[in-house]
């Protein structure tokens, strides 16, 4: 049995990807930058700052950190106005309720603190997590393992006693680098085939596969 479960947010617990892509496109277009939705989808998980930088580079638009700060501020302001449109994936509440009494829970997301805190309050989710780490608290973003290792430290658990639940190839790679087990879910921008390349320990179709997830976390994962 593992001691802690670390959840990703965007594309894992919450169906945020369509809104995120829409907001990025609006901000980028105002900056004279044109990229495809697919370009953005394949970068969700590396953090908004890096997504903006990659997009601007692809259009040969020069920028500095001040410019990125401005784009980030604009995106955050717009995102705060549409938080009510974000829904949790089916099965999320059930899984959290079943895990809460048995293991420690953390949230490790590349979204910013202001957005995450307001969303958790709106969805009445704060009570489920022992600790929450956002992009604002780390110096290196996924696929670097810093965010997961920080979670383990804050939770007082050894990395090998933690399970990460992720939807992106960057998140799975970060979990494996942290020496943690990882459950991958193709609920975001990546297919099962994409995720499998990063060698997660278990792949499920959705959070609705509650029993399969619980068996891996709470019982003998070797049988899976």
Tokens, residue 8: 């990703």
Distance CA(41)–CA(25), nearest Å, equals: 11
CB-count burial class (<10 Å; 0-12, 13-18, 19+) for 196: middle
Say which residue the tokens 């670097």 belong to. 144
Instruction: Please choose, from the candidates 197, 99, 142, the residue with its C-alpha nearest in 3D space to the C-alpha of residue 184.
Output: 197
- Report the C-alpha dihedral over residues 97, 102, 108, 112, rounded to 10 degrees: 40
Q: Is the peptide bond before 185 cis (omega within 30 degrees of 0)?
A: no
Q: Catalogue the active-site residues.
A: 8
């Amino acid at each position: 049995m593992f001691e802690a479960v670390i959840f990703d947010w965007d594309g894992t617990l919450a169906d945020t990807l369509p809104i995120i892509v829409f907001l990025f496109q609006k901000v980028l277009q105002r900056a004279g930058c044109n990229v495809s939705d697919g370009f953005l989808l394949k970068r969700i998980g590396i953090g908004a700052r890096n997504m903006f930088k990659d997009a601007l580079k692809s259009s040969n638009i020069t920028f500095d950190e001040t410019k990125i700060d401005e784009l980030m501020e604009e995106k955050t302001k717009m995102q705060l106005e549409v938080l009510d449109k974000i829904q949790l994936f089916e099965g999320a509440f059930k899984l959290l309720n079943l895990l809460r009494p048995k293991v420690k829970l953390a949230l490790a997301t590349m979204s910013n603190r202001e957005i995450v805190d307001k969303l958790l309050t709106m969805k009445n989710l704060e009570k489920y997590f022992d600790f929450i780490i956002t992009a604002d608290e780390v110096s290196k973003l996924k696929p670097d393992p810093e965010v997961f290792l920080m979670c383990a430290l804050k939770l007082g658990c050894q990395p090998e006693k933690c399970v990460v639940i992720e939807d992106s190839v960057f998140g799975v790679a970060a979990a494996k680098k942290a020496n943690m087990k990882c459950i991958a879910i193709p609920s975001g921008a990546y297919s099962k085939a994409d995720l499998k390349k990063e060698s997660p320990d278990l792949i499920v179709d959705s959070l609705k596969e509650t029993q399969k997830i619980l068996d891996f976390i709470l019982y003998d994962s070797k049988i899976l």
